[in-house]
Chain A
């Protein structure tokens, strides 16, 4: 257990559905991240929040919408996804931005878009 939880662990959705991924960290960290991990590709940083403010948006399609209501919770709202969006979505947190390279990852949500 890393102190970062994610729900659901698995999600299958159609291209017209709307769903949300949830992440919660119990570490008192100030920065939270969403990553996408696809087969044969490096971890792709999607969004970064520091003290509940978005500080990074790596040209992510608008069908992914993040929300950070407080420093412990992070959501990723999904709508009208494409099959190529099927991947493992990982949430992570760190003490501060950068955090001496030390991030704590949740177990991930395995997303399948049909």
Chain B
């Protein structure tokens, strides 16, 4: 079967750094994406990794290790507005995108 595992909740302090991990088992793999969803809002695309390594976009970075079927999203200089749910998603060999259950990020002042 196909599965993505990520923690259900993570708590961090404003100004700190937090890492949200994602492991996956899918039938074929093209890439790993990350999405952010605020309460009552729609998921918004953050990043996509097709190759191993770290991709940086401002305060957010995303990492992929294809050999380990593992990736993470790194959020630096946390702000209260970063409180949201974060989903990892795999694009499989049929170009279908499969989402994880999401990680709820709580940020403390």
Are A2 and B100 CB-contacts (below 8 A) given A98-B30, A101-B31, A102-B33?
Answer: no
User: Which chain B residue has the least Cβ–Cβ distance from A91?
Assistant: B42
Whether A102 contacts B48 by the Cβ 8 Å rule is: yes
Interface residues in A, total, Cβ within 8 A? 22
Q: Which residues on B sit within 8 Å (CB–CB) of A96?
A: 95
Q: Is the interface of B mostly helix, strand, loop or mixed?
A: strand
Any A CB within 8 A of the CB of B106: no
- Assembly CA distance A38 to B48 (angstroms): 25
In the complex, what's the smallest C-beta–C-beta distance from B61 to chain A, in angstroms?
16
Complex Cα–Cα for A98 and B44 (A) = 16
| Residue contact B33 to A48, C-beta cutoff 8 Å | no
Q: How far apart are the CA atoms of A51 and B78 in the complex, in Å?
A: 40
Q: What total of A-B pairs shows CB separation below 8 Å?
A: 55
Q: Are B99 and A42 in contact (CB under 8 A)?
A: yes
Residues of B within 8 A of A99 (CB): 95
> Which residue of B has the minimal Cβ distance to A105?
B42
Chain A contact residues: helix, strand, loop or mixed? loop
Given contacts A43-B87, A106-B42, contact A100 B96 (CB under 8 A): no
Interface: A90 (CB within 8 A) = yes
Do A107 and B42 touch (CB < 8 A)? yes
| Cβ contact of B101, chosen from A41, A100, A103, cutoff 8 A | A41
Which of A40, A102, A104, A107 meets B41, CB within 8 Å? A107
Are the CB atoms of B48 and A42 closer together than 8 Å? no
- Which residues of the other chain, B, contact A105 by a CB distance below 8 angstroms? 42-44
A98, B41: Cβ atoms under 8 Å?
Answer: no
Counting CB contacts under 8 A, is A45 at the interface?
A: yes
Flag if B87 contacts A100 (CB, 8 Å).
no
Cβ contact within 8 Å between B96 and A101: no
Interface string of A77-114 (1 = CB under 8 A from B): 00000000000001000001111111111111000000
The 8 lowest CB-CB distance pairs between A and B, nearest first, are A98-B95, A101-B33, A105-B42, A97-B95, A101-B48, A43-B99, A42-B101, A101-B91
Can you list 9 A-B pairs with a CB-CB distance of less than 8 A?
A43-B87, A56-B96, A98-B91, A100-B31, A101-B31, A101-B45, A102-B48, A105-B43, A108-B42
